[in-house]
Amino acid sequence: MSRLPRLALSLLLIFGAATLHAQDSAAPDTAAVSPAQALDQLGSQLDEVKLALKNPTPDAPLADLRSTALAVQDQSRQLTASLAPQMTALQAQLAVLGPAPAKGAPAEAPEVAAQRRKLDKAQADLDAQIKQSQLLNQNAMQLAAQITGLRNDQFQARLASRTPTPFSRAFWAGPVRTFPDDLVRLKRLGTRFTAAVNDAWQPPNRQPLLWCLAAAVLLLAGGRWVLERLLLALAARHVPDGHLRRSAMATAVALTAVLTTGLAAQLAYTGLNWNDVLDDDTQNLMTSLVRLVCLAAFITGLGRALLSVRRPSWRLPALSDLTAQWLQPFPWLLAAAALLAGMVERTTRTIGTSLPATVATRGLFALVISGLIGAALWRLRRSRSELARDGGEPVQRPVWVSLLVAAASLGVVVSWLCVATGFIAMAFFLARQMLWVGLIFATTYLLVHLLTDLINTLLSPRGRGGQQLQASLTLPSHKLEQANVLLVGIVRVGLVLVALATVLTPFGAGPGDLLVSARQTLGNLKLGELAINPASIITAVLVLLAGVLVLRVLKRWLREQLLPKSAMDRGMQESIITLLGYLGGLLVVVLTLAALQVDLKSIAWIVSALSVGIGFGLQAIVQNFISGLILLVERPVKVGDWVSLSSDVEGDIRRINVRATEIQMWDRSTVIVPNSQLITQNVRNVTQANALGRVQIKLPMPLDTNAGKVRELVLGILRAHHGTLATPAPYVQLENVTAGAMTFNCVAYVGSPREVGGVKSDLLFEILERLRSEKLPMSSPQSMLVRTLPPLDESIDGQG
């Protein structure tokens, strides 16, 4: 396997050198020109396009004229953008000079006056150039739109044109009559091509031609096999086993065919045209043929990747082995038909073939392409019937596949009917569109599977990539799964929309026209005074994602590495991290708005509209937000403090958020308290300023107890406990003496109020144990004796 990378590298070097040589030899001498000369050249190009539209000739197709107009539009836009900084610099220089002296004021220095005149003249010339460039941009855009309308009208007229039916003698009389002239034109092209080949075989060009042809033969003979095995080995080694490996291998098979075959065709063309031995027409024809070869190779590679006859486990679509085997020849046949049709069309356009011959060849290829598609659909249906007859269960097809099959069947029938009735242009268009739509949807299907499997592998909580993201970004698994589902949905919808937009381009338009139309449409959208630019939106999204990622990494670094090594307490650390999160989030928002090219004037109407809502509906939210900032700055309470509120809320502060504070109660429940309550209400902070804990025990003892002995015993227990502090020292006081008992007040201090409960429990256990061992009983509550007196004698009562 060590020779494979070397072979691939050698081929790439040969191709790169050949391509660079061809580009260097074909590149014109584009010396730098002044803005005025560039404007004159662009104006001349537009005048030539307008003249060609007034006097149409076969040598100037509308597609080329439209491309010229769009090129002028792009160049004028770039020229305007390049002149804008110069205008800004001139205005800055004039601002440094200040305004001109008023009438009657002392005259300025002659040098300053001369400099002002020079700058004013340069500003006027530059302003005129900018306005001329903007006018050229508008004229080119209008001209391109006009040409697009003409192309659509021309294309629709061509589709509606009708010729005699191929079953009539009149249809074949034209090609027979013009065949000698067309043959002469074809022989002239062959003569020019033969002369070019002879020139390429001469000694100065022979060695590059032989090297390029040898490399092309190597690529065609074994290059695809080598590259495919190399990519499959890399996928098997570095791609995790599962759906991603299957879709990656299918994509590798499709790309391998394009790379090897397309590279071989490019090498052959480069060797043939090493020193520009081809004329312009032949060179354009050969360039088109290279692109057609790449397209045909992509059709075959895509068919092999999706059918996977030899490796059914790699097959992405739900097809049976019998269906895949029956459909195996059709990608090759359709690719050959597309290549041959494209070659004939480019050749007829180059030599100027007569209209009857063009109509006949297009009708023939319409029948061939639509017939191959119809045969593939028939085999698909027959394979499903055979599978059902053998007792197997046919795979359920999605709705969109059924609709696509029905549309293709209808297209085949309509194409054949159009050929039979003489609408050759319509039939050829339908056949070509069916092939193009099938290629687009097959490519979209492969990309959807590849990107979906890639996202699932990277963001799955059970995969290695997802676990690394969870560890680095501290994301919970459910959020990672939500991001996975959301991103997969966005990718699928985006790919489907791009595929539909490519398929539904206007008649006679192509993908380039779609991109230009989308750019012009989206570039003119505005939300109030805010311009909506797709490039700015993508940049803003990237800035937002990068800013959020950097902010999360920075906060995690501070929380886990830097701040724990400082002398700050935990509450101060959390306050710094929270404030940094607020400031960083504000900075990210500002950078995102800057990437969107938003200024204060653009969002003034949004701010004015939100001010009413802030004044009424958002008043409490703003109040709590400001209160949260005050809590983080003044820090009357902080994370980790034990607080008690007047609303019977007591516990530890776990988090101070933007709007509210989380307090964990003693039963482990959490109370969400608005930040404004911590500012406006009475709050008892038990642990503020490293407060000490106070353990207080009251002992009721009988009156005959030896008070001194009790004092010494309890004081010794308080001092001996490991949790009590020596300073302040524990003490025991005789607090009260009543008729039945005397009460001792025992006090000791501990390091924190949180230690009071545990230390008090230990002391009580020890005190009770020692009192019992020393025969010192504690007083019990006095009992109350209730006696019922006998009733008084009624006679005595009456006498009284």
pLDDT tens across 193-226, in order? Answer: 888 888 888 888 788 888 888 888 888 887 778 8
DSSP 546-599: HHHHHHHHHHHHIIIIIGGGSS--HHHHHHHHHHHHHHHHHHHHHHHHHHTT--
What pLDDT does 7 receive?
A: 37
What pLDDT does 336 receive?
A: 92
What pLDDT does 368 receive?
A: 92
What pLDDT does 281 receive?
A: 76
Identify the helix (H) or strand (E) that includes residue 261.
helix 243-272
Residue with tokens 């000698």: 180
Cα 370 to Cα 377: distance, rounded to the nearest angstrom: 11
What the block records as the tokens of 226 is 């080598």
Cα 555 to Cα 178: distance, rounded to the nearest angstrom: 80
Average pLDDT over residues 711-738: 89
Whether the predicted pLDDT of 23 surpasses 60: no
Confidence of residue 11 (pLDDT cuts 50, 70, 90): very low
What pLDDT does 126 receive?
A: 86
**Residue bearing the bigger pLDDT, 780 or 536:** 536
Confidence of residue 412 (pLDDT cuts 50, 70, 90): very high
Taken in order 577, 578, 579, 583, is the CA torsion positive or negative? positive
Confidence of residue 49 (pLDDT cuts 50, 70, 90): confident
What pLDDT does 524 receive?
A: 55
Contacts of 588 (CB under 8 A, 6+ apart): 543, 544, 547, 548, 551
Q: Please list the residues that pair with 698 across neighbouring strands.
A: 745
Lowest mean pLDDT among 274-288, 378-392, 512-526: 512-526
Give this prediction's pTM.
0.60
Percentage of residues in the chain with pLDDT exceeding 70? 82
Kindly report, residue by residue over 572-616, the tens digit of the pLDDT: 677 778 778 888 888 888 888 888 777 655 555 555 655 665 566
Whether the predicted pLDDT of 15 surpasses 50: no
Whether the predicted pLDDT of 30 surpasses 60: no
Q: What is the DSSP letter of 56?
A: -
Identify the helix (H) or strand (E) that includes residue 446.
helix 424-459
Cα 514 to Cα 533: distance, rounded to the nearest angstrom: 17
Q: Cis bond leading into 728, ω under 30°?
A: yes
Q: Considering the chain, what is the average pLDDT of its residues?
A: 78
Q: What is the DSSP letter of 729?
A: P
Cα 272 to Cα 278: distance, rounded to the nearest angstrom: 8
Identify the top-confidence range among 96-100, 358-362, 410-414, 425-429.
Answer: 410-414
Whether the predicted pLDDT of 25 surpasses 50: no
Lowest mean pLDDT among 98-107, 159-168, 390-399, 502-511: 502-511
Whether the predicted pLDDT of 13 surpasses 70: no
Confidence of residue 61 (pLDDT cuts 50, 70, 90): low
Q: How far is CA 682 from CA 86, 424, 447, 660, 679, in A?
A: 64, 90, 62, 17, 8
Confidence of residue 12 (pLDDT cuts 50, 70, 90): very low
**Residue bearing the bigger pLDDT, 301 or 221:** 301
Q: What 3 state SS string does 187-229 have?
A: HHHHHHHHHHHHHHCCHHHHHHHHHHHHHHHHHHHHHHHHHHH
Contacts of 61 (CB under 8 A, 6+ apart): none
What pLDDT does 522 receive?
A: 53
Residue 631 identity (one-letter amino acid) = L
Lowest mean pLDDT among 74-83, 629-638, 758-767: 629-638
Q: Which residue, among 52, 77, 43, 42, has the nearest Cα to 146 in the 3D structure?
A: 52
Whether the predicted pLDDT of 378 surpasses 70: yes
User: In terms of C-beta density within 10 A (0-12 exposed, 13-18 middle, 19 or more buried), how is residue 543 classed?
Assistant: middle
What pLDDT does 507 receive?
A: 44
What pLDDT does 395 receive?
A: 67
Whether the predicted pLDDT of 4 surpasses 70: no
Q: Are strands 683-685 and 693-702 parallel, antiparallel or unpaired?
A: unpaired
**Residue bearing the bigger pLDDT, 744 or 633:** 744
Identify the top-confidence range among 94-98, 652-656, 730-734.
Answer: 730-734
Lowest mean pLDDT among 67-71, 298-302, 546-550, 600-604: 600-604
Kindly report, residue by residue over 486-525, the tens digit of the pLDDT: 888 888 888 888 887 777 664 444 455 555 555 555 555 5
Kindly report, residue by residue over 555-575, the tens digit of the pLDDT: 888 888 888 877 776 766 777
Average pLDDT over residues 734-745: 86
Residue 524 identity (one-letter amino acid) = N
Angle at the Cα of 369 from the Cα atoms of 262 and 337, rounded to 5 degrees: 30
Continuous H helices in 308-328: 321-327
Average pLDDT over residues 327-336: 91
Phi/psi-derived region of residue 570, left when phi > 0, alpha when psi is between -120 and 50, beta in every other case: alpha
Q: Are strands 660-664 and 670-674 parallel, antiparallel or unpaired?
A: antiparallel
Whether the predicted pLDDT of 60 surpasses 70: no
Whether the predicted pLDDT of 26 surpasses 50: no
**Residue bearing the bigger pLDDT, 57 or 775:** 775
Confidence of residue 175 (pLDDT cuts 50, 70, 90): confident
